[in-house]
A and B are shown apart, each in its own frame.
Chain A
Amino acid sequence: MKISNPRTDFLIKVNHLINMHTQEKENWIDAALNSLDAIERATPPADLYARILDRQNTPRQNALRVRMTPPQRWMVAASIALLLFVNVMTCIKMKQQFAVRANPAGVFATEYFGFLKPVDI
């Protein structure tokens, strides 16, 4: 005769319920994923062609358009070029300053001769 252990029975029941829930869930997911299998193509409105022609003949008014005259374009291009030039020059100058500081003899010479002669040596 089999002796039943209440704790084991309880665990078996819980395990069974979990398995059932998991199986039910997987079945539901599969059903959802397959729900488009027999789908029919949605049809557009019958007057689609007429609406397309209407739209083609009336350009959209609310589209955002930036119109610039040629001088304005040149101004924008010149501004961008100036900005780039200033940035490049700053980078070059900073690089030169770092190069001088990295060489102590160079720093000393610059400061010493700079003190004696403010003009270029």
Chain B
Amino acid sequence: MTDAEILVLLKDNDTTAYRHLVDRFGPFVYNTVLGVLQHPGDAEDITQEVFVQVFQSIHQFKGESKLSTWMYRIAVTKSLELLRSRKRKKRFAFVQSLTQPGNNQLTIDPPHFQHPGVIMEQKEHAQYLFKAIEKLPEKQKTAFILHKLEDQSYQEIAEIMQVSLSSVESLMFRAKQQLRKLLGDYYENLKP
């Protein structure tokens, strides 16, 4: 089924089209969201939200971009929103912990994330890489994840992020530089 056919059926509220959309784009969306959030539970939750929003706003989709581009955009936006809300909660918890010494549950960082798709030999390295990715600024993180995890070209990333191709190149260059620096620090701590 082509994108155009799916769209026509979705706009007619065809339930088989919904099912088809989830089967086809579910793994793309989940993998991207998981890469950004680095938490399987939150990734499942946001993936569901992405599809609910897609179903609700499919009539507003004008078809100016590819369906997959639009879905990636929603997935990235929703993931980043959750990250921002997490940061706010963390800040709030920190302020609370200053006034209430016993209450510091939210300031504890979760354990390092392990992506289920990483091959066994690379698991340790990947763990450090994900730890470093978490520290990247939002745009660099998005570009890097879409490229490395979803194998998207720079042109496709530019369309998803609604920026120019040169901006994506610059984001990727800065992301790699920043990751090298962060990984270098981890190495120094790992092997003093």
Chains A and B belong together in one complex: yes
CB within 8 Å of B: which of A8-58?
A: 25, 28-29, 31-33, 35-36, 38-45, 48-49, 51-52, 55-56
Stretch of B64-72, B119-127, B154-162, B163-171 contacting A (4+ beta carbons < 8 Å): B119-127
By size class, the interface of chain A is 20 to 34
CB within 8 Å of A: which of B1-56?
A: 18-19, 22-23, 26-31, 34, 43-44, 47-49, 51-52, 55-56
Q: How far is the CA of A43 from the CA of B93 in the complex (A)?
A: 33
B183 touches A29 (CB 8 A): yes
B117 touches A42 (CB 8 A): yes
Q: How far is the CA of A72 from the CA of B175 in the complex (A)?
A: 48
B30 touches A52 (CB 8 A): no
Q: How far is the CA of A44 from the CA of B55 in the complex (A)?
A: 18
| Option from A31, A33, A52 in Cβ contact (under 8 Å) with B180 | A33
- Let me know if B187 is at the binding interface, CB within 8 A: yes
Mark each residue of chain B from 90 to 126: 1 if its CB lies under 8 Å from any CB of chain A, else 0: 0000000000000000000000000111110010011
| Option from A31, A38, A44, A49 in Cβ contact (under 8 Å) with B30 | A44
Which applies to chain A's interface (DSSP): helix, strand, loop or mixed? helix
Which applies to chain B's interface (DSSP): helix, strand, loop or mixed? helix
A56 touches B55 (CB 8 A): yes
- Let me know if B129 is at the binding interface, CB within 8 A: yes
A36 touches B27 (CB 8 A): no
B125: chain A residues at CB < 8 Å are 28, 31-32, 35
Q: How far is the CA of A35 from the CA of B124 in the complex (A)?
A: 9
Chain A nearest Cβ from B97, distance in angstroms: 24
Q: How far is the CA of A52 from the CA of B29 in the complex (A)?
A: 13
Contacts A41-B27, A43-B27, A52-B48 given; does A36 touch B187 at CB 8 Å: no
A40: chain B residues at CB < 8 Å are 117
| Option from B27, B115, B117 in Cβ contact (under 8 Å) with A44 | B27
Q: How far is the CA of A31 from the CA of B119 in the complex (A)?
A: 13
Q: How far is the CA of A55 from the CA of B53 in the complex (A)?
A: 11
14 cross-chain CB contacts under 8 A = A29-B183, A29-B187, A35-B126, A36-B115, A40-B117, A42-B27, A43-B116, A48-B44, A48-B47, A48-B48, A51-B44, A52-B48, A52-B55, A55-B52
The 6 closest A-B pairs by CB, nearest first: A40-B117, A44-B30, A35-B125, A35-B122, A35-B126, A32-B125
